[in-house]
């Protein structure tokens, strides 16, 4: 038998955030002191300390643990001591491999002090069960972390690793964003250029021309070490960065979380979550961009097509649609009788005649004149304060009826709390064998059905409330836009994008031997005002 004092001990200590709020009980200092005391009492020689601070128990690719294994391979140590099995790791398969296969094969004795595990002894039957419990703890902790993150996300808190460009963490609340006034003007400039029809590539080049440092360089200048490794032209902007900024709802004051998630608690692999499953909470922080401008930009991005082979202005790009098939109409220039004719036409008619039966087109100048006159007519109506007042009065009268919905909302919320308390009591009775499983499931199903009905009604009430407030807000937005362009002389693309959501063109028909063509303009802000 080998003498105790012939052992060369590798002391291994580990601590991570996975261990939860453990205080000093698991601290590196405490682990070291405990093992040093044990070695002193048992006359064991410590070769070296191997410390991994900030590494999960499910990750075995830790720097100091890797160094420990390397020293075992070199024959420098022949004993490993940890405070308990969980310090070695929390994956029961991996930990079991080291304690039952790897260490014995290398003639390395392993001791977990608190768990009374000693591979030299034969009474280590408890070790596999301890490993399983540690694994279960890691799994349970992973679930709790996910639930905590989801809870914060549902409350509109910022839970990302790095703040979006244009925002900083609130010094008073780490989960709240505040506008970074040093660069917020850049965000506004990016959207301003997009609103006048500039693409991502153009905007990126324009920012480089102005010598505006890119987000990576800017974050590095703030001391973010994650971006220090990036080198190159500090003024070089990537068009994908521009595109990401233009599509990020964070700039209208909304928080979008759960874009990625951990696949499982062991691999820690990050996977993208489908867009429809993202958690979005509105109005969580101050906006840099207005919602109306943001919506316009999204439509422009969707309508982005290959640049045309002509230099003619295209006022209605992205907002002109064929009434028959719903496809966008394209600008075309053709020679006819020795002169140029500029028209919008639906190309889908030539691709799918079943979907678009009639060839649909309209002369550019005719459309421009029609839309100009409609705009002037709209402006004249809303120039009258009485008209606006009547609209607001009507909506406010409708909103007064929502007071009943508010009282209903409180009643339903109280009922949800009651259901929660009842189901909690049911579970307690079931776990104490006071309630049979079939009865528990039956009651639970009934309460779950009631909860779904209540939640559905609460959602409807909230939507009604939001619709009313949005309605009144849109009136004010409309007034602002009209005041901006009230005396316009020439129709501009910027004006159209701010006021028009879409224009639908129907194919010409004959009525009383006269050719007529339906042109429907869907206005922004006033889609439900009757204009």
pLDDT band at 220, cuts 50/70/90? confident
pLDDT band at 189, cuts 50/70/90? very high
Residue 167 scores a pLDDT above 90 = yes
The secondary structure of residue 363, as a DSSP letter, is E
pLDDT for the residue 468: 62
Mean of the pLDDT values across residues 74-95? Answer: 84
Residue 221 scores a pLDDT above 80 = yes
Mean of the pLDDT values across residues 324-348? Answer: 84
Integer-rounded Cα Rg, in Å, for the chain is 34
Tell me the two tokens of residue 529.
Answer: 């005002």
431-440 pLDDT per residue, tens: 677 888 788 7
The Cα 297–Cα 498 span in angstroms is 10
- Cβ count near 344 (within 10 Å): 23
More confident residue, 252 or 423: 252
The Cα 511–Cα 248 span in angstroms is 48
Mean of the pLDDT values across residues 448-454? Answer: 87
pLDDT band at 369, cuts 50/70/90? very high
The CATH code for residues 4-151 is 3.40.50.1390
pLDDT for the residue 485: 83
More confident residue, 95 or 387: 95
Average pLDDT along the chain: 79
CA dihedral sign, ordered 191, 193, 194, 196: positive
- The answer to whether the CB of 141 falls within 8 A of the CB of 90 is no
| Burial degree of 316 (CB within 10 A; 0-12, 13-18, 19+) | buried
Tallying the residues shown for the chain, one arrives at 531
pLDDT for the residue 165: 93
380-427 pLDDT per residue, tens: 777 665 665 565 556 555 555 556 777 888 888 888 888 888 887 887
Mean of the pLDDT values across residues 176-196? Answer: 91
More confident residue, 491 or 486: 491
Mean of the pLDDT values across residues 368-376? Answer: 90
Tell me the two tokens of residue 339.
Answer: 């002169």
Q: 3-class DSSP state for residue 96?
A: helix
Query: How many separate helices (H) and strands (E) can be counted in the chain?
Result: 17, 19
More confident residue, 253 or 404: 253
The Cα 442–Cα 450 span in angstroms is 13
Residue 125 scores a pLDDT above 60 = no
Q: In sequence order, which residues have a C-beta less than 8 Å from that of residue 122 and are 6 or more positions away?
A: none
pLDDT for the residue 360: 87
The Cα 44–Cα 51 span in angstroms is 19
Residue 448 scores a pLDDT above 70 = yes
pLDDT band at 265, cuts 50/70/90? very low
C-alpha count within 13 angstroms, C-beta hemisphere, residue 445 = 6
Mean of the pLDDT values across residues 237-251? Answer: 90
User: What single string gives the DSSP state of each residue in 283-341?
Assistant: S-S--SS-HHHHHHHHHHHHH--PPPSS----TTTTTEEETTT-PBPEEEEEEETTEEE
Residues of the chain within CATH 3.40.50.1390 domain(s) are 4-151
pLDDT band at 368, cuts 50/70/90? very high
Q: What percent of the chain has pLDDT over 90?
A: 20
Residues of the chain within CATH 3.90.1750.20 domain(s) are 162-302
**Assigned fold of 162-302:** Hect, E3 ligase catalytic domain fold (3.90.1750)
The Cα 445–Cα 452 span in angstroms is 11
Q: Report the range of poorest mean pLDDT among 100-114, 130-144, 494-508.
A: 130-144
pLDDT for the residue 245: 93
Longest dimension (CA), the chain: 114
């Amino acid at each position: 038998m080998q003498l105790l004092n012939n052992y060369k001990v590798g002391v291994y200590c580990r601590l991570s955030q996975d261990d939860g709020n453990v205080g000093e009980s698991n601290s590196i200092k405490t682990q070291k002191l405990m093992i040093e005391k044990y070695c002193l009492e048992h006359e064991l020689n410590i070769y070296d300390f191997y410390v991994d601070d900030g590494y999960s128990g499910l990750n075995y690719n830790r720097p100091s643990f890797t160094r420990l294994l390397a020293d075992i391979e070199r024959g420098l140590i022949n004993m490993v001591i940890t405070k308990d099995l969980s310090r070695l790791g929390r994956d029961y398969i991996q930990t079991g491999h080291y304690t039952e296969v790897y260490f014995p094969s290398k003639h390395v004795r392993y001791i977990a002090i608190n768990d009374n595990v000693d591979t030299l002894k034969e009474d280590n039957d408890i070790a596999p069960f301890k490993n399983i419990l540690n694994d279960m703890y890691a799994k349970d902790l992973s679930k709790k972390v996910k639930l905590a993150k989801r809870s914060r996300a549902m409350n509109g808190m910022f839970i990302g690793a790095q703040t979006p460009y244009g925002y900083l963490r609130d010094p008073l609340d780490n989960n709240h964003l505040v506008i970074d006034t040093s660069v917020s003007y850049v965000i506004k400039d990016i959207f301003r250029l997009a609103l006048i029809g500039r693409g991502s590539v153009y905007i990126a080049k324009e920012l480089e021309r102005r010598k505006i440092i890119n987000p990576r360089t800017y974050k590095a200048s703030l001391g973010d070490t994650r971006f220090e490794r990036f080198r190159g032209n500090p003024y070089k902007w990537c068009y994908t960065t521009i595109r990401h900024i233009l599509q990020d709802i964070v700039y209208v004051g909304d928080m979008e979380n759960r874009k990625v998630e951990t696949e499982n608690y062991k691999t820690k692999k990050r996977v993208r979550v489908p867009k429809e499953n993202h958690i979005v909470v509105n109005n969580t922080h101050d906006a840099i961009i207005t919602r109306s401008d943001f919506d316009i930009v999204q439509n422009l991005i969707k309508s982005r097509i290959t640049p045309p082979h002509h230099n003619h202005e295209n006022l209605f790009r992205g907002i002109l649609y064929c009434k028959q098939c719903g496809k966008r109409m394209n600008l075309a220039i053709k020679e006819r009788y020795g002169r140029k004719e500029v028209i919008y036409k639906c190309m889908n008619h030539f691709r799918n005649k079943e979907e678009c039966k009639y060839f649909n087109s309209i002369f550019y100048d005719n459309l421009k004149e029609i839309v100009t006159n409609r705009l002037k007519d709209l402006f004249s109506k809303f120039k009258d304060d009485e008209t606006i007042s009547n609209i607001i009065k009507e909506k406010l009268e409708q909103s007064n009826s929502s007071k009943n919905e508010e009282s209903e909302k409180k009643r339903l919320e109280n009922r949800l709390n009651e259901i929660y308390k009842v189901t909690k009591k049911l579970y307690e009775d079931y776990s104490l064998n006071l309630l049979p499983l079939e009865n528990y499931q039956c009651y639970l199903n009934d309460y779950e059905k009631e909860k779904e009905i209540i939640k559905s009604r609460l959602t409807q009430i909230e939507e009604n409330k939001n619709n009313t407030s949005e309605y009144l807000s849109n009136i004010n937005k409309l007034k602002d836009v009209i005041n901006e362009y009230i005396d316009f002389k020439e129709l501009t693309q910027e004006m159209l994008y701010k006021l028009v959501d879409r224009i639908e063109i129907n194919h010409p028909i004959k009525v009383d031997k006269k050719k007529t063509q339906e042109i429907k303009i869907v206005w922004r802000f006033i889609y439900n005002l009757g204009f």
